[in-house]
């Protein structure tokens, strides 16, 4: 094909290919009869380079998207972890509350059983007291009737015209102590019934607290499932059951490990604080030693200056005294 073309066309194609090869950093010469092969190879190379660039750009976009998704998943994973830990704490709290409720139910049932027995005993005593009071009332009424009707064989005193006083019927009067006992027992029955009502209210309150804890646990489970779904293929739905099932045992070990890590971290912080305090104390001691040294030197310098001043003052006083003596002697001589 190259041989059938005009020489100037071949030269144009050669120059164009030469420019493209120079652009591709290929300075080696080639023959004109290799122009078709080189054109084909250059076209394939350009297409491959363009495809590689587009794939690289797409790869960078996918990497950025993957990084963004991982960045979005990280806080969600942390939130899921915290929710799972909180869910485990709620489970443990519910187990403790259930054990406490069972224990209190047993205690309350025992107390209620004792109270019911006491109520039955008190009701029995109350019934016996009422029967005794009714019997005494019947005997008292019967005595009154017999007292009104009198005895058939009663004798009359002819002198006075009055009946002889016969032996009266002894009327049993209800003992006030018995009445007080009945009132006390009725009051005790009322108190026991009130205590029973209070305990029943307490049981209902514990049941309500249990329901509230159940609702909180269900909300946590639903929130965990929602976050799992938001993570997409990062988590599978069937993992939720495994995580919730295994997290109860793992959470205790994790909690202990976290506690140990926190203690170790606190020990490291204390060591750092200790080193900082020692360094600060040594620095402060060094500063104080420098200050003491400076003050000592300053004190010695001031003492020397004071001594020099004292010597100077003594010298001045001495000179003044001698001067006064001279003036006095001169004055005496003049007189």
Residue 327 domain-assigned? yes
Question: pTM higher than 0.75, yes or no?
Answer: no
Domain that holds residue 227: 7-143+194-333
Residue 124 domain-assigned? yes
Residue pLDDT, tens place only, 170-205: 434 444 544 455 555 556 666 666 666 666 666 666
Residue 167 domain-assigned? no
Residue 286 domain-assigned? yes
Residue 153 domain-assigned? no
The Cα 116–Cα 186 span in angstroms is 14
202: Cβ contacts below 8 Å, ≥ 6 apart: 104, 108
DSSP 8-class letter at 174: P
Residue pLDDT, tens place only, 47-86: 888 888 888 888 888 888 888 877 777 777 777 788 788 7
Cβ(209)–Cβ(216) below 8 Å: no
The Cα 138–Cα 257 span in angstroms is 83
Cα torsion at 141, 143, 144, 148 (round to 10°)?
140
Residue 184 domain-assigned? no
Residue pLDDT, tens place only, 77-91: 777 788 788 777 877
The Cα 130–Cα 73 span in angstroms is 80
CB atoms within 10 A of CB 17: 19
Q: In terms of Cα–Cα distance, which of 83, 58, 76, 84 is closest to 234?
A: 76
Q: In terms of Cα–Cα distance, which of 104, 113, 118, 116 is closest to 204?
A: 104
3-state secondary structure of 162: strand
Per the structure, the count of domains in the chain is: 1
Backbone angles phi, psi at 157, to 5 degrees: -80, 120
pLDDT in tens, the chain (335 residues): 445 556 767 778 888 888 878 887 778 887 777 778 878 888 888 888 888 888 888 888 888 888 887 777 777 777 778 878 877 787 787 777 777 777 777 777 776 666 667 667 667 766 777 777 777 778 777 776 665 555 444 454 444 444 444 444 443 444 454 445 555 555 666 666 666 666 666 666 666 766 776 676 677 667 666 666 665 544 444 444 544 444 554 555 565 556 556 666 766 776 676 677 667 767 766 777 787 777 778 778 877 887 887 888 888 888 888 888 888 887 777 76
Cβ(1)–Cβ(38) below 8 Å: no
Residue 188 domain-assigned? no
Residue 154 domain-assigned? no
């Amino acid at each position: 094909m190259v041989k059938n073309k005009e020489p100037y066309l071949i030269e144009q194609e050669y120059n164009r290919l030469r420019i493209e090869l120079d652009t591709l950093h290929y300075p080696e010469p080639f023959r004109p009869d290799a122009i078709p092969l080189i054109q084909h190879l250059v076209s394939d190379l350009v297409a491959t380079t363009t495809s590689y660039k587009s794939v690289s750009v797409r790869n960078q976009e996918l990497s950025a998207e993957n990084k963004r998704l991982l960045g979005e998943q990280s806080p969600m994973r942390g939130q899921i972890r915290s929710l799972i830990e909180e869910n485990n704490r709620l489970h443990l709290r519910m187990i403790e509350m259930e054990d406490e409720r069972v224990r209190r139910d047993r205690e309350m049932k025992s107390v209620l059983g004792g109270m019911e027995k006491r109520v039955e005993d008190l009701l029995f005593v109350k019934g016996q007291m009422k029967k005794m009071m009714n019997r005494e009332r019947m005997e008292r009424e019967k005595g009154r009737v017999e007292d009104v009707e009198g005895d058939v064989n009663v004798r009359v005193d002819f002198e006075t015209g009055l009946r002889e006083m016969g032996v009266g019927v002894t009327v049993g009067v209800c003992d006030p102590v018995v009445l007080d006992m009945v009132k006390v027992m009725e009051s005790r029955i009322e108190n026991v019934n009130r205590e029973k009502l209070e305990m029943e209210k307490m049981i209902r309150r514990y049941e309500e607290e249990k329901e509230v804890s159940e609702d909180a646990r269900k909300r946590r489970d639903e929130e965990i499932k929602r976050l799992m779904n938001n993570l997409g293929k990062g988590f599978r739905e069937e993992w939720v059951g495994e995580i919730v099932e295994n997290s109860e045992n793992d959470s205790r070990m994790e909690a202990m490990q976290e506690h140990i890590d926190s203690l170790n971290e606190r020990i490291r912080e204390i060591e750092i604080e200790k080193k900082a305090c020692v360094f600060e104390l040594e620095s402060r001691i060094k500063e104080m030693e420098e200050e003491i040294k400076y003050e000592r030197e300053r004190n010695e310098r001031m003492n020397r200056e004071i001594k020099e001043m004292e010597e100077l003052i003594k010298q001045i006083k001495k000179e003044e005294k001698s001067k006064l003596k001279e003036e006095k002697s001169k004055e005496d001589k003049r007189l």
